[in-house]
A and B are shown apart, each in its own frame.
Chain A
């Protein structure tokens, strides 16, 4: 077999093996594909992506689907691929002016949610750090009524969200408090 034929044969086999490799490891070429594939196996979605942002080694997708919201991180893998991972959402509770949920991984904490009252212009989260001091993190940007607040805190394996969560406040553009809550979920 000439070198050219051998090379072509090798490349064809490589493509097949690469496909198998990706299947064996839940890898995809695009994060959106990985997201929708994960969602599908969780019997959710395909959700409508409202906003996406990168944080650490993952891309987070703020999505909406059938009255549910989600903030799913899809991790980068081997530089080029994206890995199958999170996907499920939580149902929005429209009785509350602001509905939130949270996600944690390592020291990364995210509170994400939906404003059911469009007069809300800013959301504050109060959390206790290791020394017991209260820190406030906030967001005043809304993506089709969804928002997220991200911060570095203690490692999630060492502490429960309920232990560090101190409160949630929502303000309108005049600065007055519309909603104040001790529950987050």
Chain B
């Protein structure tokens, strides 16, 4: 099941920050990891990643730097301290959100999950 959207709505920052928390990545790498980890659930127009990355950088949650590998200079992104805090916030928000949704659609059993 492929969710085909321009951006994966408001949870894109959450996904990106979470990826970057474990390792620094460059743009194309992020797309590949997202596809792989989500078993291709997340597949969207690749170019739309960059406005989100640049926004996160403007907000100070991630920082970019250039590194050369295989003879090519690539723009890598790394998470900042502020970004780590923001990630924790967004995770908490996501959990509250999905918990509430589950409660509404699933009834008692799912609410405990």
Contacts and interface: CB of A to CB of B under 8 A. Distances in A.
Nearest to B59: A2
Contacts of A5: 60
A124 B59 CA distance: 73
Interface string B13-41: 00000000000000000000000000000
Nearest to A4: B58
A1 B58 CA distance: 9
Interface in A1-22: 1-5
A3 B64 CA distance: 12
Nearest to A2: B60
B91 to A, nearest CB: 23
Interface in A147-167: none
A1 B82 CA distance: 11
Contacts of A4: 58
Contacts of A1: 60
Interface of A: 1-5
Given A1-B60, A2-B58, A3-B58, 5 more contacts: A2-B57, A2-B59, A2-B60, A4-B58, A5-B60
